[in-house]
Amino acid sequence: MNLKERIEKFKELEYEFNKDFYSKLEKRQRPHTLFIGCSDSRVDAETLFQAEPGEIFQMRNIANIVPREEEPGTHPSAVSAIEYAVKVLKVKNIVVCGHSKCGGCAAIRKLKTYSKKLPYTGEWLAQSVTISDYIDSKYPDMKEKDKLVMLEKLNAVQQLDNLMTYDFVKDRFKSGKLNLQAYYYDIGSGAISVYDYDSVFSDMINEITEARRLALAAEEENTQAEN
Contact between residue 154 and residue 161 where contact means Cβ atoms under 8 Å apart: no
Residue 102 annotated among the catalytic residues of the structure: yes
Residue 20 annotated among the catalytic residues of the structure: no
Q: Which of 6, 20, 28, 38 is catalytic?
A: 38
Residue 109 annotated among the catalytic residues of the structure: no
Sign of CA dihedral 35, 39, 42, 46: positive
Residue 99 annotated among the catalytic residues of the structure: yes
Give residues with Cβ within 8 angstroms of 226, minimum separation 6.
Answer: none
From its phi and psi, is residue 97 left (phi > 0), alpha (psi between -120 and 50) or beta? beta
To 5 degrees, how large is the angle CA 157–CA 220–CA 139?
Answer: 40
Side by side, the strands of the sheet bearing 56-61 are 56-61, 33-38, 93-99, 179-185, 192-196
Q: Which of 30, 42, 136, 171 is catalytic?
A: 42
Give residues with Cβ within 8 angstroms of 122, minimum separation 6.
Answer: 107, 111, 114, 115, 116
Q: Which of 68, 97, 99, 172 is catalytic?
A: 99
Q: Which of 68, 97, 102, 212 is catalytic?
A: 102
Q: Based on DSSP, count helices (H) and strands (E) in the chain, helices before strands.
A: 11, 5
Residue 161 annotated among the catalytic residues of the structure: no
Q: Which of 40, 68, 161, 212 is catalytic?
A: 40
Catalytic residues: 38, 40, 42, 99, 102
